[in-house]
Amino acid sequence: MKILVTGGCGFIGSNFIRLLLETRDYEIINLDALTYAGNPENLKDLENHPRYRFIRGRIEDSSLAGSIMKEVDSVVNFAAESHVDRSILKASPFIATNVMGTQVLLDAFRQCECRGVFVHVSTDEVYGSLGPDDPPFREDDPLLPNSPYSASKASSDLFCRAAWKTFGLPVVITRCSNNYGPFQFPEKLIPLMIINSLEKRPLPVYGDGQNVRDWIFVEDHCRGCLAAMEKGRPGAIYNFGGQCEKKNLEVVGAILKKLGLSRDLIQFVKDRPGHDRRYAMDAGLAMKELGWRPEVSFGDGIDRTVEWYIENRQWWERIISGEYLDYYRTQYGQ
Ligand code: NAD
Ligand code: TYD
């Protein structure tokens, strides 16, 4: 069986390809545009693997998507613009990749009559924000996205649903909570805080730092995507979450504690516009139908993540010495 993984040079996609090559005998094509977030270094040790092929290109390129789709059975679509803050600064790349690109892949999948499934990797953010006493999100909750990023992901989810309803395409949608772990681009909370701590730079916490996210170690999410591909019911949506709700300040505190640093590094900065207050996932359906559950505790996951960033300084130094640092300076004037 041959799988097209899109966005495989990003954070979750690269962890997913690693998992596939280690635990399955599928052939893999990785289609990735290598945007600022795509980094071939993430798969350097696997680039000559006999069952792996990299193709540089955009998912919204219909002729490329069409020619690749002829070769593959299933698709796992990770490719996306993935950062909320960037979507607030400029939404159009989010529409081009997340919405248009997903539709191009769905069309190509249909035209080539692929025999497998189309797994679309989405996010808890499509459900909007929870109040402090609300139950966790369920798959049949309304879509109430609040950021341009989550609006684009909700939109792509709806095109996937439409492809299932209209054409009977075997589409499975997964929605996961906040991931963390090795290879995460240092614009997201956890890697940014680890790197700033290692560099003794201020840790910019938005607003009052009381926003809650449901943290999941990236390997747990990848196992979920694999289970969705192998066992998912066509037309189904599966929530994945870490069952690990934490306030941002708690997360930052855990990183500082692990590194033996003082909380004086924390700097409260102006809040993100439209900042969602709380996310939490009810993953009961995935547990029941896919036999999936998160396995890595937050303590173990943070230890492994902090250690990875300590041991892979060169990986992130290359990133922060370039384009990203400029972005960071413009945002926070540091
Ligand atoms: P990422 O930003 O680290 O990686 C995205 C990858 O997609 C990069 O390699 C990039 O080069 C590639 N890409 C972007 N535009 C492309 C295009 N037009 N064509 C081809 N490739 C393109 O993102 P991530 O954190 O690994 O997220 C992967 C997926 O998982 C996304 O769809 C995201 O919405 C979803 N997701 C992420 C999280 C999270 O916490 N990071 C949680 C739930 C869902
Ligand atoms: P982020 O990693 O951007 O993920 P998302 O917004 O998709 O959940 O942010 C996680 C939380 O951390 C969110 O509440 C915003 C907050 N945050 C900060 O307080 N400071 C930062 O520098 C960043 C990047 C995020």
Report, as an integer, the average pLDDT of 196-216: 97
pLDDT band at 332 (very low <50, low <70, confident <90, very high): very low
pLDDT in the model for residue 314: 95
Q: How far apart are CA 31 and CA 37, in angstroms?
A: 14
Q: Can you give the pLDDT at residue 325?
A: 55
* 323 vs 35, higher pLDDT: 35
What would the mean pLDDT of 31-51 be, rounded to a whole number? 97
Cα(93) to centroid of ligand 1, in Å?
A: 12
Query: What's the average model confidence in pLDDT over 285-312?
Result: 98
| pLDDT for residue 261 | 98
User: Which residue has the CA at smallest separation from atom 5 of ligand 2?
Assistant: 84
CA 73 to ligand 2 center in whole angstroms: 36
Domain boundaries, the chain: 2-332
Active site residues: 124-125, 149
- The CATH fold of domain 2-332: Rossmann fold (3.40.50)
43 ligand 1 Cβ < 6 A = no
* Protein residue with least CA distance to atom 14, ligand 2: 211
Around ligand 2, the residues with Cβ closer than 6 Å are 84, 178, 188-189, 192, 204-206, 211, 213, 248, 272
Task: State the pLDDT at residue 324.
Answer: 57
Ligand nearest to the CA of 124: 1
Above 60 in pLDDT, residue 298? yes
Confidence of residue 114 (pLDDT cuts 50, 70, 90): confident
3-state secondary structure 106-121: HHHHHHCCCCCCEEEE
What is the DSSP-derived secondary structure letter of residue 181? S
Residue nearest atom 7 of ligand 2, based on CA coordinates:
84
> If you take atom 20 of ligand 2, which residue's CA is the nearest one?
205
Determine the pLDDT at residue 321.
85
The Cα–Cα gap between 54 and 179 comes to: 24
pLDDT surpasses 50 at 334? no
Rounded to the nearest angstrom, the distance between the alpha carbon of 309 and the centre of ligand 1 is 20
Please report the atom of ligand 2 found closest to the CA of residue 187. 24
For a mutational test of ligand 2's pocket, the pick from 147, 213, 334, i.e. the residue with the most ligand atoms closer than 8 A to its C-beta, is: 213
pLDDT tier at 157, thresholds 50, 70, 90: very high
Q: Count other Cβ atoms within 10 Å, centred on residue 272.
A: 14
Q: What pLDDT is stored for residue 323 in this prediction?
A: 59
DSSP class of residue 47 equals T
The mean pLDDT value for 55-78 works out to 98
Q: Ligand 1: which of 5, 6, 12 to mutate, most ligand atoms within 8 Å of CB?
A: 12
pLDDT for position 47: 94
**H-only helix segments in 168-215:** 189-198
Provide mean pLDDT across the span 49-68. 98
pLDDT of 229 higher than 60: yes
3-class secondary-structure state, position 14: helix
Residue 133 alpha carbon to ligand 1 centre in Å: 31
164 Cα to the center of ligand 2, angstroms: 33
Task: Give distance in angstroms: CA of 5 to centre of ligand 2.
Answer: 26
Tell me, using a 6 A CB cutoff, whether residue 281 lines ligand 1.
Answer: no
- For the segment 256-285, the average pLDDT, to the nearest whole number, is 98
Instruction: Tell me which residue has its CA closest to atom 4 in ligand 1.
Output: 10
Residue nearest to atom 6 of ligand 2 (CA): 84
The pLDDT value recorded for residue 333 is: 45
Residue 7, CA distances (Å) to 17, 67, 121, 236 in order: 10, 17, 11, 22
7 ligand 1 Cβ < 6 A: yes
Average pLDDT of span 275-298: 98
C-beta separation of 13 from 180 below 8 A: no
Q: Which residues pair with 230 in a beta bridge?
A: none
Q: Please give the pLDDT value at position 313.
A: 97
pLDDT, one tens digit per residue, over 79-106 is 999 999 999 999 999 999 999 999 999 9
Q: Which atom of ligand 2 is nearest to the CA of 332?
A: 22
Rounded-to-integer distance, Cα 334 and Cα 329, Å: 5
